[in-house]
Amino acid sequence: MAGDDPQYLGLVELGESIRARRLSPVEVARAALDRINRLDGALKSFSTITAETALAEAQVAEQELAEGRSRGPLHGVPVAVKDLCWMKDTPTAHGMPLLRENRPAEDGAVVARLRAAGAVILGKLQQTEGALGLHHPDIDPPVNPWNPDLWTGVSSSGSGVATAAGLCYGSIGTDTGGSIRLPSTCNGVTGLKPTWGRVSRYGAFELAATLDHIGPMARSAVDCGAMLGAIAGADPKDPTAAPEPVPDYLADLRDDVRGVIIGVDSRLVSKGVDEETGAAFDEALRTLARLGAEIREINFPDPTQVIDDWTPLCGVETAVAHEKLYPAHKEAYGPGLASFIELGQKLSAMDYQKIVLRREAFRGQVRALFQDVDLIAMPALGFAAPTLAKMASITSDPSVLQGVLRFNCPFDMTGSPTITLPAGAAANGGCIGFQLVGRHFDEARLVNAGHAFQSHTNWHKRRPPL
């Protein structure tokens, strides 16, 4: 459990103490930076630590609060952002050594909004190359804080590790095929993948433009709701950012889910799921039922084709994103990202259009399910706490790849919002999670359901043995 370590306070809880002047933003920032310096040499979660600017931001927050000015729940709270988010005059490499000298001339939308909310940004978090599935061969990957032999999840690997290890109170991840949900699950934190378009993508390097989602990773659903409230909303610099008003995700929170109908396809969620994951998922459903939810059987559309389609579609969009750099700088690319780009370059226009049409049909089928249910429950990963050795077989063992993609990429193809919640401990000491999926722009219901679950469970309060 959390013990007495202030680095494991919740983001919202810490913010309340800062606004009440019980804690100093400067002292909190210094403690976070000291912890990073002490632990991250082994964990490798940060790509860049911005200590000087973080302390300056903390001093501004302290002065503003002393003058009675509050910017909200993030004011004075230390957070960190994935390396693909532009940060003015700060190395922003997208996990690519080729871009290690890139220093944007402005903040991206998410960074700008975190600053406007008064957050203290500790630095940039390591990620896989180009936000695909593998770290560049020249970069030391982040280390799972629960056990160095366990997978961290990708691509927001540094975000998951830093948040779990108490190096920041919340972080920014992105999700194109599971990259918020996988590291949230593997590191035992909470991840909120918003509806596509809920958060501006301006100033964030692309993996695949129509699949990329930007969202928070934190210790609880409430903390994720606070972060989403700060970063969501329309943006004139990103015409795909949705104009829907941003609600107060922390308003009217309840510790139950009375009246909420949760759909489950028992056949789908039992296929390709190991015993530990299945047991944790079933217990999570029982908990939600005890809290008042109606668990209703549904027939989820067969995701097999849309899972198969995700790879070539993402490949095409990745090839477009890297058009100015690849193949001109092919020698600087790792083999995984290079081969993925080349796969996308080879897809014909006819085959691409067929994928687009199948995607739209699947999106419509999933949307229709929400006429009868409020949420859909799914595992977040097909197997519990995978080892690095297991994940090394992903290219040779189809069951491993299916275990990763099966419950993740369909909801990037639909653009649906999801919340990933810690729900168990594996025999090897690692973490197990599950996810709830909502209607488009119904993140408030996801935050409330997550809060209710976490009000009656302690899985999100487990801490790695550091």
pLDDT in tens, 115-146: 999 999 999 999 999 999 999 999 999 999 99
- List the strands of the sheet with 46-49, edge to edge: 46-49, 120-125, 78-82, 170-175, 213-218, 190-193, 418-425, 431-438, 375-379, 261-264, 294-297
Phi-psi region of 438 (alpha: psi -120 to 50; beta: other; left: phi over 0): beta
Look at residue 65 and tell me if it is in a domain: yes
If we measure between CA atoms, which residue out of 287, 54, 304 comes closest to residue 167? 54
The band of 1, judged by pLDDT with boundaries at 50, 70 and 90, is very low
Model confidence at 5: pLDDT above 80: no
Which helix or strand (DSSP H or E) is residue 400 part of?
Answer: helix 398-405
DSSP state of 331: G
If we measure between CA atoms, which residue out of 453, 455, 451, 423 comes closest to residue 226? 451
CA 190/CA 171 separation, integer angstroms: 10
For the chain, the distance separating the N- and C-terminal CA atoms, rounded to the nearest angstrom, is 12
Q: What is the average pLDDT value for the chain, to the nearest integer? A: 97
Give the mean pLDDT of 350-362: 98
The band of 395, judged by pLDDT with boundaries at 50, 70 and 90, is confident
The band of 6, judged by pLDDT with boundaries at 50, 70 and 90, is confident
The band of 367, judged by pLDDT with boundaries at 50, 70 and 90, is very high
Model confidence at 7: pLDDT above 90: no
Model confidence at 322: pLDDT above 70: yes
Look at residue 150 and tell me if it is in a domain: yes
CA 143/CA 317 separation, integer angstroms: 29
Look at residue 303 and tell me if it is in a domain: no
According to the model, what pLDDT value does residue 419 have?
Answer: 99
Look at residue 356 and tell me if it is in a domain: no
Give the mean pLDDT of 236-264: 97
Give the mean pLDDT of 401-429: 97
Phi-psi region of 249 (alpha: psi -120 to 50; beta: other; left: phi over 0): alpha
Lowest mean pLDDT among 101-105, 358-362, 396-400, 456-460: 396-400
CATH of the domain at 47: 3.90.1300.10
Peptide bond into 155 cis (omega under 30): yes
Q: Which two tokens stand for residue 156?
A: 């927001």
- Catalytic residue ranges: 82, 155, 179
Measured CA distances, 359 to 229, 319, 353, 356, 368 (Å): 29, 19, 10, 5, 14
CA 404/CA 383 separation, integer angstroms: 8
The band of 310, judged by pLDDT with boundaries at 50, 70 and 90, is very high
Query: Structural domain of residue 278, as residue ranges?
Result: 6-294+373-461
pLDDT above 90 coverage of the chain, percent: 97
Measured CA distances, 218 to 258, 421, 451 (Å): 25, 10, 13
Model confidence at 446: pLDDT above 80: yes
Peptide bond into 145 cis (omega under 30): no
Look at residue 402 and tell me if it is in a domain: yes
**Cα dihedral sign for 311, 316, 317, 321?**
positive
Look at residue 327 and tell me if it is in a domain: no
The band of 355, judged by pLDDT with boundaries at 50, 70 and 90, is very high
If you compute the radius of gyration of the chain from its CA atoms, what whole number of angstroms results?
Answer: 20
If we measure between CA atoms, which residue out of 215, 259, 284, 253 comes closest to residue 448? 253
Q: How many folded domains does the chain comprise? A: 1
Crossing angle, helix 11-19 and helix 221-231, to 10 degrees?
70
182 φ, ψ to 5°? -65, -50
Look at residue 208 and tell me if it is in a domain: yes
According to the model, what pLDDT value does residue 272 have?
Answer: 87
If we measure between CA atoms, which residue out of 116, 114, 120 comes closest to residue 24? 120
According to the model, what pLDDT value does residue 71 have?
Answer: 98
If we measure between CA atoms, which residue out of 422, 438, 445, 436 comes closest to residue 258? 445
Give the mean pLDDT of 450-465: 97
Give the mean pLDDT of 279-294: 98
Q: What's the angle, vertex CA 87, arms to CA 82 and CA 90, rounded to 5?
A: 100
Look at residue 363 and tell me if it is in a domain: no
According to the model, what pLDDT value does residue 183 have?
Answer: 98
If we measure between CA atoms, which residue out of 1, 2, 52 comes closest to residue 29? 52
Contact 270, 278 (CB under 8 A): yes
The band of 13, judged by pLDDT with boundaries at 50, 70 and 90, is very high
DSSP state of 1: -
Q: Which residue has the tokens 């005890």?
A: 290
> How many Cα atoms occupy the beta-carbon half-sphere of 152 within 13 Å?
28
Question: Residue 34 carries which side chain, given as an amino acid letter?
Answer: D
Q: pLDDT of 18-76, one tens digit each?
A: 999 999 999 999 999 999 999 999 999 999 999 999 999 999 999 999 999 999 999 99
Q: Which two tokens stand for residue 77?
A: 């709270």
According to the model, what pLDDT value does residue 295 have?
Answer: 98
According to the model, what pLDDT value does residue 302 have?
Answer: 97
Alpha helices in 168-325 (DSSP H): 181-187, 221-231, 266-270, 275-290, 304-321
Contact 122, 108 (CB under 8 A): no
Spell out the residues 6+ positions from residue 237 whose beta carbon is closer than 8 angstroms to its own.
109, 200, 202, 203
Q: pLDDT of 156-198, one tens digit each?
A: 999 999 999 999 999 999 999 999 999 999 999 999 999 999 9
pLDDT above 70 coverage of the chain, percent: 99
